[in-house]
Structure 1
Amino acid sequence: MNTIAFVPGAAGITIGSDAKLETPYRAGFDGVLPDVRVHGGTVTVVFPRSFHVRDRRRAGEVVLKGTEPWRIEVRGGTSRLTADLRGLRVTALDLQGGAEQVAVELPAPEGSVPVRIAGGASHVRFGCPTSVPVRLSLIGGGTGITFGERHLGAVGAGTTLADPGWQDGTDRYDILVTGGADTLTVERW
């Protein structure tokens, strides 16, 4: 399994996949360039200390080799992240430090795949295959929550929503948001 980690956060990043890549990843960035370190199966994208997730002058594109399993991590917050992961084998998605303006297309999972947002979520959308059961747990509650066809207003802390069959499913998503959530959507395609 490979891991890609963005430290201390990610802003204006687009993540995609390409099964024909000859290397594990390809990356390009605008503005101040991060230091990209590779050790074993881990690619760490280290942004300079002056990095701030709301800085709109920085952007980047990362393409991951689609024939390999990937764990994707953002440590330190993310803003304006767009990820089309449908061509990947995703083993985990971990967004630490909060997430704002995030759109992720998830592939059909292999096994139970954790998706974590620690620190709160604002304007976050997950798209996933219709046939895949999903559980969404909101530790800090939320407003403007959409889960499939269910449009909810405010929900209290500790709210859990799950598709029928999630408990018995083997290939599924387990989405956990530990902070509060404002305008969070789980859609099907």
Structure 2
Amino acid sequence: MLIYEQQIRRPWRLLGFTAVIVSLTVGVILGQTEAYQPPAPRPAATAQAGGSVPAPQPSGAIPTPAPLTAPLGTIKQRRLEVTGAATALRIRTADLGEALFSVTAFDPSAVPQVVDAAGGSLLTLAPGAVVTAGAEVVLNSTVAWTLKVTDGANELDVDSRAGGLAGLEIAGAVSRGVLHLAKPQGTVKLAVTGTLGELIVRTEKDALVRMRLDEGAGSATINGAARRDIKAGATLRDTGWAAATGKYDARFTAQVKSVLVERLTSDR
């Protein structure tokens, strides 16, 4: 089992060394002043032009969190579970070269941790914390990722337009979620088992969506048609979904307040 922990760079050694140099310099200047007393200067005719007082510098620096990363190696597919309630959680896929993932906490004091077990990884956003500001999670787009968001977030943003999303489950409560989805190879399952306020699903052209609303929804828009008070057990789908080769199959097992499915445009 492998454990990856985020490292935080702290500039204390550099600050301490600087303080020693300043102390020695002040001592030398005071010694020279005591040994030599210059004659009283003549009154100056004018003040020196262009003189300025340097702005005060901060006495300390905020620790900068280094991204938590892991090597890609030969991994072609991976399960990732994200735990820890967050104010905001952003997950996206991108070309990371030889890195498997990159995790950066929004709160410098939070230290995310990833534990690798057989077949998957568990990302804890802030071990020991009840809630955290959140993080940005970037996943290598050459890997087929099956994601699970366990503890939810006030705002959830998942962007897989670079590819690599093989499945997604939202198990925690989410106030507002936005999914940016590329056209997949085959059928990709999306599962929402937690309480959901508003969800916007934006897909590339010809990436069609089917929604199965086990507990109904307050409102839903798909295929350009808006509906209200959708009954439990209703199924809504884009036209041509059944025959499409690259599509999303979304199932909601908890009631949804609002869900919107629309096509991505160049400015989104």
**TM-score, structure 2 as length reference:** 0.64
Counterpart for residue 225 of structure 2: 150
Q: Which has the higher contact order (CA 8 A, sep 6+)?
A: 1
Any unmatched runs of 5+ in structure 2?
1-76
- How far apart, CA to CA, are the structure 1 residues paired with 2:206 and 2:102? 31
**Residues 1:59 and 1:160: Cα distance change in structure 2 (over 3 Å):** same
Gapped runs of 5+ residues in structure 1?
Answer: none
Q: Select between 4-13 and 109-118 the one with higher mean Cα deviation.
A: 4-13
Q: Return 25-34 or 87-96, whichever deviates more.
A: 25-34
Distance 1:37 1:81 in 2: 22
**% of aligned pairs identical?**
24
AA at the equivalent of 1:51: V
- Corresponding position: 1:48 with 2:127: yes
- 1:19 matched residue in structure 2: 95
The C-alpha deviation readout for 1:91-139, integer Å capped at 9, x for no partner, is 1011113322111101111111000100231111111123122101111
Distance 2:96 2:152 in 1: 30
Alignment counterpart, residue 114 of structure 2, candidates 22, 29, 36: 36
Question: Bigger CA drift: 173-182 or 96-105?
Answer: 96-105
- Structure 1 SS opposite 2:129: coil
How many residue pairs get matched? Answer: 185
CA distance in 1, matches of 2:182, 2:212: 20
Measured in 2, the distance between the counterparts of 1:114 and 1:107 equals 13
Higher strand share: 1
C-alpha root-mean-square deviation of aligned residues, in Å? 1.8
Moved more, 119-128 or 109-118: 119-128
Distance in 2, matches of 1:162 and 1:8, equals 33
Greater helix content: 2
Q: Which has the larger radius of gyration?
A: 2
TM-score for both structures, normalised by structure 1: 0.88
Match of 2:138 in 1: 63
The residue correspondences of 1:87-102 to structure 2 (distance < 5 A) are 87-102=162-177
